[in-house]
Structure formats: structure tokens, C-alpha cells
Homo-oligomer: A and B are copies of this chain.
Amino acid sequence: MATKISQRPKPTLAMVARQAGVSAPTVSKVVNGREDVSAETRARVLAALEQAGYQSPLQRRSAAETGTVVEVVIDVLDSAYMIEVLNGILQFAAAADVEILVSVTGPALSNLRSPERRAQRMLDEGRAGMIVVTSAFSEAQLQAFRRRKIPVVVIDPLNPPSADVVSVGATNWAGGKAATEHLLDLGHRRIAYIGGIEKAECNQARLHGYMAALMARGITVDPRYIISGGRFRRESGVAGLQALLQLDQLPSAIFAASDAIAMGVLAEAGRHGIRVPEDISLIGFDGTRQGEESVPSLSSVAQPLEEMGRAALRSLLRQARGEILDSHRVELATQLIVRGSTAAPAS
């Protein structure tokens, strides 16, 4: 697929040696990482190697015969979000004849230990690049990949990624604003926000979209109605509603930062005899099938999750092919989906 076909005769050690003004054995030593070469000579040889585009016979065979393999790193495969993203990646991969290596790091993100070794290994194995889904990535980790020119794409980065990493996401701010405006349009004034991972970029954007919508209508943001510090999971919805129940006045509507959180709210509401949408309106974020199938079916802001997976892979393959990217941030549109969990307030 992404094979660069050069018409010039493949460069040999001897050619590189001539170019660098040294002997073939010396080049051989540099290629094999042996110690007995002066730093100065090594630098010169390295430059010539790079310039000639030299590949050892072994590398050549990998490049020629090995298919394109892309690594995908996720924390755990247990949310509808993750599944749809992965599905998008896998389906595009099948169409593009690319292979996908999936690895889970577990919730402890630091499990991606010794990034240097991992990056080197990816280089040795001729892997085309790496897609990271929602995991935090430290600068040190990214540098290991950058130095080896291994392309990395991050979907919904937790921390704002550095300039030379492509990130893929949705229009979270606009989506958060649309969800809140929908509730406002229905007549709600007391609207709560139950967030996911606090420092995650997408959470921040959704929260600020929510605040922007309120402020545009002249409604003061009540900090007690902003619940944060959880994950994008069901448990956060359960805990979030419990926290709201402590207040002397319950909000009339809740904007949950993910469908999973909303499902938690829904379950906990049922446990307290609170009806949705009669007693409280509820809107989620993600637009997963899970929300569509719940009772009542969940209003939500849909993210094109499969498309985000495809976009990430597409961008990665472009980079691997050496194409120049038009953007370092791919942002796909969200869409408000009104279903059964939102209605006008009771009073």
C-alpha cells in the first residue's frame, strides 16, 4: 500500500561509504551500532545514510513484504464510546488493507512503561504508527516517538497535546452549548452539569459550552450545579445525582458529559422515584446505541465516534506516507438528538 517506490538502484553500504568519504567496514559498524567509531565519523556516516535512504537488507524486506500495521492503545475496552471508536478504526482498516494491533494499558496510564523501548520496537517491527485513545501521554513518551519519526494520533486527548501530535475529536464546546440551549429552550433555568474527567480537554470544552449557553441567556452559573471530578462512566452519574440530591433545591434538568454518566443518573433517579423526564430532564453526550435503547430513550449530543476512529487512522496513514497534513486537529461535528428524556419543566 504505502510503499515508497524509488526508481534509483537501492543504495548499498559501499555507496554510502563513498558518499561519506569512509570505508565500507566503517559504515557497517555504524549501521550495527558498534562502539568503536568516533563521534565525528559516526555523525558523517549517519548523515550519508539518511541522505541515501539506506536500508539494510532486513529492513528492506520488512518494508517490501510486511503489510502496514498500526498500533492502537486504549485503557480498557468497556465503554460504548471506546467500542464505537475502535469499530470505526477496524472497519476502515479492513477496507484499507491495514492491520490493527490493539493493546490495553489498564486504567493506570503509566503502564505504557519505557516508551523508549516501545518506540524502538515499533521502529524495528516496521509499524506504521500509533493511535492513542483518550489516554494521557506525557511529553517524555511523545518524544520517544517523535525522535524516531513514528506518527502518533490521539483521539480525545486528556491533556492538550503538543504541536506535533495530531489530535482527533468532536466539536465539544458547540455540543455542550447545543445541549444546554435545548434545555433552556424547553424552559429550564436550573440546569446542572455532571462532568467526566475534570482536566480532559473534551470535558472542559463541554463545560464551557454549557456555561456559555447559560451566560448568553443572562443566567448566573451556580457552582453547586457543576459536579466534576469523576470519570466518563456510569458511576459518576450515580454519584452526581446523589450529590445534587443533597442540595435544598434539585435542578430541573441535567446535562451529563457522557451517555454512560447519563445512564447512571437514570438508574439512580429510578431508585429515588424521580421520573425522567417528568420530574427532571436529562441529556447525555456521545449518542451511543446504549442511550438510544434505554427507557426512556436518551436525548444526547451525538459524536461521530466511528468516524472519529476512521479519521484518526486516515490521518495516521497519511503521515506514514509522508504527506503533509492540512491540520493538526481534526474536529468533527456533533449533532443534537432529541429523544424521550427531555421535556418542559413541570411547574
Nearest-CB residue, chain B, relative to A71: B99
Nearest-CB residue, chain B, relative to A72: B102
Contact indicator B104/A94 (Cβ below 8 Å): yes
Interface of A is mostly: helix
Contact indicator B87/A93 (Cβ below 8 Å): no
Contact indicator B105/A102 (Cβ below 8 Å): no
A-B pairs with beta carbons under 8 Å apart, 25 shown? A57-B57, A57-B58, A58-B61, A66-B125, A67-B121, A67-B125, A69-B101, A77-B83, A78-B289, A83-B83, A87-B104, A90-B102, A90-B103, A91-B104, A91-B106, A94-B103, A94-B106, A99-B101, A100-B101, A100-B102, A101-B101, A101-B102, A102-B102, A263-B293, A290-B290
Q: What's the tally of chain A residues with a CB closer than 8 Å to chain B?
A: 37
Nearest-CB residue, chain B, relative to A102: B102
A234 in contact (CB, < 8 A):
yes
Beyond known contacts A90-B104, A91-B106, A295-B295: 7 more, CB 8 A cutoff: A77-B83, A78-B83, A78-B289, A93-B103, A94-B105, A101-B102, A263-B293
Distance of A290 Cα from B234 Cα, bound (Å): 12
**Chain A 63-120 interface residues, beta-carbon cutoff 8 Å to B:** 65-67, 69, 76-78, 83, 86-87, 90-91, 93-94, 99-106, 111
Task: Write out the residue numbers on chain B whose beta carbons fall within 8 Å of the beta carbon of A103.
Answer: 90, 93-94, 99-100
Distance of A298 Cα from B19 Cα, bound (Å): 73
A50 in contact (CB, < 8 A):
no
The winner among A102, A103, A234 for most chain B CB atoms within 10 A is A102
Would you give the 0/1 interface string for A274-290, flagging 1 where the beta carbon is closer than 8 Å to chain B? 00000000000000011
Task: Write out the residue numbers on chain B whose beta carbons fall within 8 Å of the beta carbon of A58.
Answer: 57-58, 61
Contact indicator A87/B94 (Cβ below 8 Å): no
